[in-house]
Chain A
Amino acid sequence: MAEVAVEELYKIFPDHVVAVDGVSFHVRDRGFLTLLGPSGCGKSTILRLIAGLEKPSSGKVYVDGRLVNDQHPADRDVAMVFQSYALYPHMNCFDNMAVHLKLRKVPREEIQRRTRETARLLGIENLLHRKPKALSGGQRQRVALGRAIVRQPKAFLLDEPLSNLDAILRERMRGDLKALFSAMGATVIYVTHDQVEAMTMSDTIAVVRAGKIQQIGSPAEIYHNPANVFVAQFVGSPRMNFLRCTIESGRLTFGRHDLPLPRAVVSTVGLPANVLLGIRPEHLTVLREATPGALEAQADLCEPLGAFTILHLRLGENAIAALVTPEDAQMGGRRWVEFHGGKIHLFDPATEERLKY
């Protein structure tokens, strides 16, 4: 396996659509980077630029320290798994998996050995003689994965590989893939719009929006210190609550409520008068009795998820959601909401960037 890096990557399509807008990142050897973003944000284009399926308008792509901009996709020694699987319908699974080795004139015995080994690893040995149309979605997915693995590439590029699977299978494959790639010591670049996949599988997440990387960091960093409102909203479910506040005499004020500033804020100097307060539903405690420091609210609606319930509350003029245990979930009536001081995020309402303090 090897490192993959891109530097100042731009892709502008002939219709002047800027799909990739100055993207740089570095995936270390054996690293697992996820490009996370909504559909149409350019994350797949980044992957295609690395694979060589598109030519960058400018910028550099490095695989294993070598500049590969002018190399044919096959010579870059990266393997790609497509969302649609893209298996060759007229070839059986063995040939689908072995086709790269055959084109590379690898000796026959080695092709046999490697393909069968990979099939065994993926539990599809008994399907090798079948054509793709005789396989289920999950099996096709494994063959597509096998086609990538058998090449022993420098890096794996995966474009939403799980999104065509049903929920149960997707959850299982998520774990399987993570285990598989870590056992192989693979370098992986993974594209998804599913934050759960991104959080569970990767060691680094790059959140992409409109062709730009919004934030790059570990899943914990992305979750705990989102760089802007977009990242804060995109990662985490249910979504983060936002409240428009003003800073008045050292307190965050909204409507008739106010809260102390996060303890980390040493001085309000340099902070704008208006801020956007962000707090995740899981960082709110909902109480049935008036408690000092807790804000009075009205419980509107329950959305039971089983283990947890999303409780929608009216906090003055603001609507917020809190994650509560099913026992605490009851519609109607007054509640008191406690904000976990250390978990409050402050953003600039104009730039939507995280405020530095």
Chain B
Amino acid sequence: MQDLGSGMLRKGCFILATAGLLLFSVGPFGWEVLTSIKPSSEIAQSPVVYVPSRVTFEHYVALFARRDFGGYLVNSAVVSSLATLLCMIAGMLAAYALAKLNIPGSPLFLVIVLAVALVPPIILLIPLYEMMRWADWINHRGALVLPYAALNLPFATLVLRAFFRQIPQDLLEAARIDGFTRVGILFKIIVPLSAPALATTAILVFVFCWNEFIFALTFITTDAYKTIPVGIAGLSGVTSPYEIPWGLISAAAVTGTLPLIVLVLIFQRRIVQGLTAGALKG
């Protein structure tokens, strides 16, 4: 009886905690979705209107028709994809070398990577700005791609190294005897086996790039290359300096988040998949 009672109590607590966490993380986003489909008159109304009286897409229409939000989306997608790609390629190579190649001095290198990862990016803002100006890269996508890739490189390297280390050494040695080159082993053996890890890491890097604000605000000043976070920030005070267009901002935030959600859903299966099963005995 006691077991049953405590079991139910535990289950109840679990459900409660899950519900609380869900409310905490999904709540604000849900609120934003609701705001984005409310008529403007209901958004700032007091008392608060939770469920809109009618659903409207006027904010979304305004977002794409009156502003170049489609352009921001493209810019964010291009910059984030390129930065993620660059970061993952470099990260994979570094992680492979650190995890599997037994290079002398790699522990020291690891410490340095960790130290670099701890530097707050804001410290780099001014020096990077100077560098970008010198390279004539202000208002150039490269000004975002390169720093994004570099800033995420320590994270990607450390995470991938941890995953690569789990791949049995025998497998890589068998591959060497079979005639794979070192790079061949990375791309034909390690990468397919680490697909879940790679997908997870890539998504996290991509999300960082997608959400990054301060570099994007500083290095890009023309509207043509602005990314979504900067674009959203620019929505305030457009119609009048005294009005914050909450509907427009919410619609922009929802639109900007949607690609990330889709991305995670696509890769979800990959992330969960356990591919190494059967590599070894048992």
B171 interface residue, CB < 8 Å from A?
yes
Selected from B179, B275, B279, B281, the residue in CB contact (under 8 A) with A100 is: B179
Q: A89–B277 contact, CB under 8 A?
A: yes
A129 to B: closest C-beta gap in Å: 15
User: Interface size bucket, A side?
Assistant: 20 to 34
Q: A84-B280, A86-B171 are in contact. Are A73 and B177 (CB under 8 A)?
A: yes
Q: B278–A82 contact, CB under 8 A?
A: no
Residues of B within 8 Å of A108, CB to CB, are none
The 0/1 profile, CB within 8 Å of A marked 1, for residues 156-198 of chain B is: 0000000000001011011111111000100001001100000
Q: A86-B168, A88-B189, A90-B193 are in contact. Are A79 and B177 (CB under 8 A)?
A: yes
Q: B179–A87 contact, CB under 8 A?
A: no
Q: B173–A86 contact, CB under 8 A?
A: yes
Q: A84–B176 contact, CB under 8 A?
A: no
Across the interface, name the chain A residue whose C-beta is closest to B195: A90
Across the interface, name the chain B residue whose C-beta is closest to A163: B281
Other A-B contacts than A84-B168, A90-B275, A135-B278, 17 sampled, CB-CB below 8 A, are A73-B177, A74-B177, A74-B178, A74-B179, A74-B180, A78-B177, A83-B170, A85-B280, A86-B170, A87-B278, A89-B276, A90-B192, A131-B278, A133-B278, A140-B278, A140-B281, A147-B174
Residues of B124-177 at the interface with A, using a CB-CB cut-off of 8 Å, are 168, 170-171, 173-177
A86 CA / B170 CA spacing, docked (Å): 6
Across the interface, name the chain B residue whose C-beta is closest to A83: B170
Q: A86-B171, A90-B275 are in contact. Are A137 and B281 (CB under 8 A)?
A: yes
Residues of B267-282 at the interface with A, using a CB-CB cut-off of 8 Å, are 275-282
A164 CA / B280 CA spacing, docked (Å): 10
Measuring CB to CB, which residues of chain B are less than 8 angstroms from any residue of chain A? 168, 170-171, 173-180, 184, 189, 192-193, 275-282
A14 to B: closest C-beta gap in Å: 9
Measuring CB to CB, which residues of chain A are less than 8 angstroms from any residue of chain B? 48, 51-53, 72-74, 78-80, 82-90, 99-100, 103-104, 131-135, 137, 140, 147, 164
Residues of B within 8 Å of A104, CB to CB, are 179
A71 to B: closest C-beta gap in Å: 12
Q: B179–A103 contact, CB under 8 A?
A: yes
A164 CA / B281 CA spacing, docked (Å): 7
Complex A-B, nearest 9 residue pairs according to Cβ-Cβ distance, in ascending order: A133-B278, A74-B179, A86-B174, A86-B170, A103-B179, A89-B279, A132-B278, A90-B192, A100-B178
Residues of A within 8 Å of B178, CB to CB, are 74, 99-100, 103, 147
Q: B176–A74 contact, CB under 8 A?
A: yes
Q: B174–A80 contact, CB under 8 A?
A: yes
A218 to B: closest C-beta gap in Å: 29
Residues of A within 8 Å of B189, CB to CB, are 88
Q: B192–A84 contact, CB under 8 A?
A: no
Across the interface, name the chain B residue whose C-beta is closest to A89: B279
Residues of A within 8 Å of B173, CB to CB, are 48, 51, 53, 73, 80, 82, 86
A80 CA / B282 CA spacing, docked (Å): 21
A147 CA / B177 CA spacing, docked (Å): 11
Residues of B within 8 Å of A53, CB to CB, are 173, 176-177
Q: A80–B177 contact, CB under 8 A?
A: yes
A99 CA / B184 CA spacing, docked (Å): 12
A80 CA / B192 CA spacing, docked (Å): 23
Q: A84-B281, A103-B179, A132-B279 are in contact. Are A89 and B174 (CB under 8 A)?
A: no
B30 to A: closest C-beta gap in Å: 40
Q: A89–B180 contact, CB under 8 A?
A: no
A52 CA / B179 CA spacing, docked (Å): 12
Of the A-B pairs whose beta carbons lie under 8 Å apart in the complex, a sample of 23, sorted by A's number, is: A53-B173, A53-B176, A72-B176, A73-B176, A73-B177, A74-B176, A74-B180, A80-B173, A84-B279, A85-B281, A86-B171, A86-B280, A87-B174, A87-B279, A88-B174, A88-B279, A89-B276, A90-B192, A90-B193, A133-B279, A137-B281, A140-B278, A147-B178
Q: Which of A73, A74, A84, A86 has the most CB of B within 10 A?
A: A86
Across the interface, name the chain A residue whose C-beta is closest to B175: A88
A227 CA / B189 CA spacing, docked (Å): 46
Q: A51–B179 contact, CB under 8 A?
A: no
